[in-house]
Amino acid sequence: MRKRIAALLVAVLGSACAGPSEVMPEATPPQGLGAAGQGWSEAQRRWFYHASQGTMLLPVSWFLALERPSAPFQEAPLFATTENLSRYGFLPDEASSENPLGLPVGFALDDRGGFSRAGLGGREQVVGLTCAACHTGQIERGGRALRIDGGPAMTNVGAFQKDLGLALAQTLRPIRFGRFAGRVLKEGDTPAARLALRRQVRSMVLGGLTEQAEAHWAKVYPLEEGYGRLDALGRGGNFVFGTQARDRNNLVPADGPVSYPALWDAPWFDWVQYNGAIRQPMGRNVAEAMGVRAVTTVTGSPDTLYDSTVRLDTIAAMEQQLAGPAPGQGLRPPRWPEELLGPIDRAMAERGAAHYARLCAGCHEGGAVAWTEPDAFGRRYRRITMVALEKIGTDPTAAMNFVNRRGRLERDQAPIPADQALKAVTDRVIARWYERNAVPPARQEEMNGFQPNDWRALAAYRAKPLDGAWATAPFLHNGSVPSLYQMLLPAAQRDAVFHVGRREFDPVQVGFVSTPSAGATRFDTALQGNRNTGHEFRNAPPGTPGVLGPELSEPERREIVEYLKTR
């Protein structure tokens, strides 16, 4: 096995001599930008964009000094420019007190990581991704844009991480390293400082290459996620239980990517995630932060076990800002912007409302039992309908991967189901943080959202309320249907192949323009994990899996779409 890993390391190191791993589009920023007006102040929006959860990519000085991947002997533009980061879908943002470096939405600085400043002494800040990187949307039309806070982003996080690692690996080239060291060390640039910095870079590169090699050996990422989606549970489990636990037997294929879900109303759902896996907001957010590179000690000395860079105080504040004091008083769904996308036909929408009540509301609105009974804190939650896979008929990969996944918390223990393993790890990380920071029990309950850290693994997907759904394309949990209109077609009439990455909005189909364009992700629905089956209205025998009702007429489809613009 060691020889195989060594051979893979050599192969991956060889790839560092090539150019970028992805052909990314050049970003064309819109000329006008507005906000959807969703109940947050400008200060709340700015804070959400750049508040650190404790995730860590690189020291800030390294990130700013890296060059983009390129062929050997070429001096490349810097990686961290707004122009380059926009190519991965990150939204530009201006410099402010929350964002002193003028980084895009979703990048945060953090000084709690304690990364040593090679050759210079002391510690320095790190840069990481935060919630807003995946949960801030934008729609564009005719050169104008509308920012959707809490909406699904059109970011390609997988390509970004891949190219960031490649850029760092290429920094070990002698000429490139000289330029990099000069930018990092500045007035402290000495031979000794350069040697210390090179050792740090080499150590990080070798760690990353080992992780890549083991992932390659286990064939864990067979499906391209592309723009607007990520297999967060799969990647998070591999990072926590495989990479950080140093146990490659815990690596499993992550081939069930899902679209980034919208955040409005989510704090008031009784269960969250597409597969309804998690109840507590703190447990969900701690797992998410660990999955996007918050450092957590899951092996080693009991004195440091389950210490983590995750910022539970920031996570709790984010969740409280999203939720507000009561349903509808935090982040609100966006309203259809008639000045940008055109007026709603109110008569048509009224007819669509009747169709929706007859065909859709039973699952998406929950009927007479839509809200839970008040809990011990007097809080009620929206009861989310879970629809079994055999009924909904959509691609089962994401749900079944979680049902079937097993992991070992310790090498000498038997594997346990993923929901139990993640509950155990998040419980311990949360308890450790509260202990380290002397958080009293009443405050713990408040930070936990007054809910227990329950996890479950169901062979089902959720049917949540469709408020603001018009702004969340592409559709289905895996993003396999490009528009609301196509959601109402029989699966055989939906696009079998389309392209994802543009933000230009189609107000008739209600989704992003999905024709081929430079750098866009080609979405092939024939692939496992990408299937666009199920959730159909077509003529079929009663009980046919995935068929929810008879085929709709063209006017019925158009009327339902028009109604959903009003939500």
Q: What is the pLDDT of residues 288-301, one digit of tens each?
A: 998 888 888 888 88
More confident residue, 339 or 19: 339
Give pLDDT tens digits for 479-505: 999 999 999 999 999 999 999 999 999
Evaluate whether 104 touches 118 at the Cβ level (below 8 Å): no
The rounded Cα 458 to chain-centroid distance in angstroms is 21
- Rounded distance, CA 48 to CA 33, Å? 18
Q: Which two tokens stand for residue 73?
A: 């002997």
In 3D space, the residue among 559, 522, 552, 563 whose CA is nearest the CA of residue 226 turns out to be 522
Reported in sequence order, the residue ranges of 260-390 that DSSP labels E, i.e. its strands, are 385-388
> pLDDT at position 187, please?
93
Q: How confident is the model at residue 132 (pLDDT cuts 50, 70, 90)?
A: very high
Residue 257's contacts (CB-CB under 8 Å, 6 or more residues apart) are 223, 225, 229, 230, 231, 234, 398, 478, 479, 529
- The CA R_g of the chain, rounded to the nearest whole Å, is 24
Confidence of residue 389 (pLDDT cuts 50, 70, 90): very high
State the pLDDT confidence band at 28, using cuts at 50, 70 and 90: low
Work out the pLDDT band at 212, boundaries 50, 70, 90.
confident
56-65, 178-187, 233-242, 350-359: lowest mean pLDDT where?
A: 233-242
Token look-up 């390293």 returns 177
- The whole-angstrom distance between residue 413's C-alpha and the CA centroid of its chain comes to 31
The bridge status of strand 144-149 relative to strand 32-35 is parallel
Q: Are 139 and 83 in contact (CB under 8 A)?
A: no
User: What are the phi and psi torsion angles at 342 (to 5°)?
Assistant: 100, 160
Residue in 254, 244, 197, 114 with CA at minimum distance from that of residue 205 = 197
Measured between alpha carbons, how far is 210 from 304 in angstroms, rounded to an integer? 24
- What is the rounded average pLDDT of the residues 525-536? 98
Residue pair 230/242 in contact by the 8 Å Cβ criterion: no
Cα gap 532→197, rounded to integer Å: 49
Q: What percent of the chain has pLDDT over 70?
A: 93
Q: Residue 215: its pLDDT value, please?
A: 80
DSSP 8-class letter at 133: G
For residue 3, what pLDDT is reported? 45
> ∠ at Cα 49 (99, 381), nearest 5°?
155
Is 17 a residue whose pLDDT tops 80?
A: no
Q: Give the pLDDT of residue 13.
A: 46
Residue 363 CA to residue 386 CA, distance in Å, equals 8
- b (16+ CB within 10 A) / e for 472-492: bbbbbbbbbbbbbbbbbbebe
DSSP for 20-55 reads -SS-PPPP---SEEEE---S--HHHHHHHHH---SB
8 A C-beta contact, residue 188 and residue 120: yes
pLDDT at 5 over 50: no
